Amino acid sequence: MSNVTFPPLKNDLILRAARGQHTERAPVWVMRQAGRYLPEFRELRQKYDFFRLCQTPELATQVTLQPIDRYPDLIDAAIIFSDILVIPQAMGMEVLMNPGPVFTKPLDVPEDMHALQTDGIKERLQYVFDAISLTRTRLAGRVPLIGFCGAPWTLMSYMIEGGASKTLQKSKTWLFKYPEQSKALLQVLTTACIEFLVGQVEAGAQLLQVFDSNGGDLSPHDFAQFSLPLPRVLRRRSPPQANYDTVGLDWTVDPRDSSIPRDVALQGNLDPTVLYGGRGAIEQEVKRMCAEFRAARPTTGWIANLGHGITPGVDPDDLEWFFQCVHKYSSLDSK
């Protein structure tokens, strides 16, 4: 456990919403809010390799705080600057950012799993925990800090595909051709994810997000078999602070859908491309989104966000307008 005493929290809006409590307005943050669309980040990237930024706590803290400093009183959470692929890296796989992630030696057959280093993963990720503790201190209680990891299935697909893939042909082939070996790999990754998330809470993370970006590429049957187990295990093995109580929706899902469980808070879900549409379009779509989420959760909390990560070409001023519109249209007295 961290022995650091952190400053008291001044804005707990997102914590209350994530617990399902009714809030005076929707808390808001965006995925990848610390990153390529910010000129101050691009300036740092001219000096440092991407993973050098992740692996140097002082630099990771600096990047994490950039959007919080740029948009004071508009963002309700910071998310630690890192990457979901730090777990495969800690297992001995080389990952380059060129410009997207590339594995120099992906897993081709199940026998390749023997080369994975499954002991000492948490220790090799100490730099993330150090960055979290440092960031909590530097935030000075302005907003809560989110920790995260990639879900096992998403990590597995990257490790097999060797990078991003639109079809996931290689990794999905493993599920059908090598089902037992696939489950064994997913179990190894699940254990690593849980230890990583627990370590983040111990270091000072106040919320945790599990990104299963590739979960939607599985059939409902395969999702239940290969993707869903992590949140169930996480509830059993993590500290109380890490309960898996909020579900993020992308822009293809209507939050009013009756099939969405009622006992979870919701997060989402503006299409990131709307941020290129100009201020009129942004305001119109945020107003619509807020109305839908308010209808879906009239007596409990929800968290405003994009349906996926912000993309590099967004004008930072247009993102600021998005935040301002969320504040306006998600408030209790908005029309």
User: Which structural domain, as residue segments, surrounds residue 230?
Assistant: 38-244
Whether 172 is in a domain gets the answer: yes
Of the ranges 118-122, 249-253, 257-261, 275-279, which one carries the lowest mean pLDDT score? 257-261
Structure tokens at 179: 């089902």
The CA angle 129-132-137, to the nearest 5 degrees, is 130
- Among candidate residues 25, 32, 136, 142, the one labeled active-site is 32
36 in active site: yes
- Among candidate residues 16, 19, 45, 124, the one labeled active-site is 45
Of the ranges 213-222, 233-242, 279-288, which one carries the lowest mean pLDDT score? 233-242
Find how far residue 31's CA is from the centre of its chain.
6
Specify whether 203 is located in the same domain as 262. Answer: no
Distance CA 122, CA 192 (A): 7
Find how far residue 29's CA is from the centre of its chain.
11
Predicted local distance difference test score (pLDDT) of residue 230: 59
| Rounded mean pLDDT, 270-278 | 98
| Rounded mean pLDDT, 185-196 | 94
Predicted local distance difference test score (pLDDT) of residue 98: 82
Structure tokens at 132: 């979290």
Confidence class for position 1, pLDDT limits 50, 70, 90: very low
CATH of the domain at 88: 3.20.20.210
Whether 33 is in a domain gets the answer: no
Distance CA 164, CA 155 (A): 11
Burial of 220 per CB tally in 10 Å (0-12, 13-18, 19+)? exposed
Specify whether 83 is located in the same domain as 54. Answer: yes
| Rounded mean pLDDT, 272-293 | 97
Contact 321, 265 (CB under 8 A): no
Contact 203, 132 (CB under 8 A): yes
Distance CA 195, CA 47 (A): 32
Confidence class for position 257, pLDDT limits 50, 70, 90: very high
Whether 53 is in a domain gets the answer: yes
- Among candidate residues 12, 25, 76, 83, the one labeled active-site is 83
Specify whether 14 is located in the same domain as 44. Answer: no
- Sorted by sequence, the CB contacts under 8 Å of residue 103 that are 6+ apart come out as 88, 93, 94, 95, 158, 159, 162, 163
- Residue 239: pLDDT over 50: no
- Among candidate residues 36, 124, 138, 237, the one labeled active-site is 36
At 86-95, the pLDDT tens digits run 999 999 999 9
Confidence class for position 171, pLDDT limits 50, 70, 90: very high
| Rounded mean pLDDT, 74-84 | 98
Whether 187 is in a domain gets the answer: yes
At 36-56, the pLDDT tens digits run 999 999 999 999 999 999 999
- Among candidate residues 37, 130, 136, 158, the one labeled active-site is 158
Whether 143 is in a domain gets the answer: yes
Residues in the chain: 335
- Residue 77: pLDDT over 50: yes
At 291-307, the pLDDT tens digits run 999 999 998 889 999 99
Domain boundary among 244, 271, 296: 244
Confidence class for position 221, pLDDT limits 50, 70, 90: confident
Domain boundary among 201, 223, 244: 244
Predicted local distance difference test score (pLDDT) of residue 288: 97
Specify whether 53 is located in the same domain as 154. Answer: yes
Distance CA 291, CA 279 (A): 18
158 in active site: yes
- Residue 197: pLDDT over 80: yes
Look at the chain and report how many structural domains it folds into.
Answer: 2
Of the ranges 28-32, 93-97, 221-225, which one carries the lowest mean pLDDT score? 221-225
- Sorted by sequence, the CB contacts under 8 Å of residue 214 that are 6+ apart come out as 153, 154, 157, 168, 171
Whether 29 is in a domain gets the answer: no
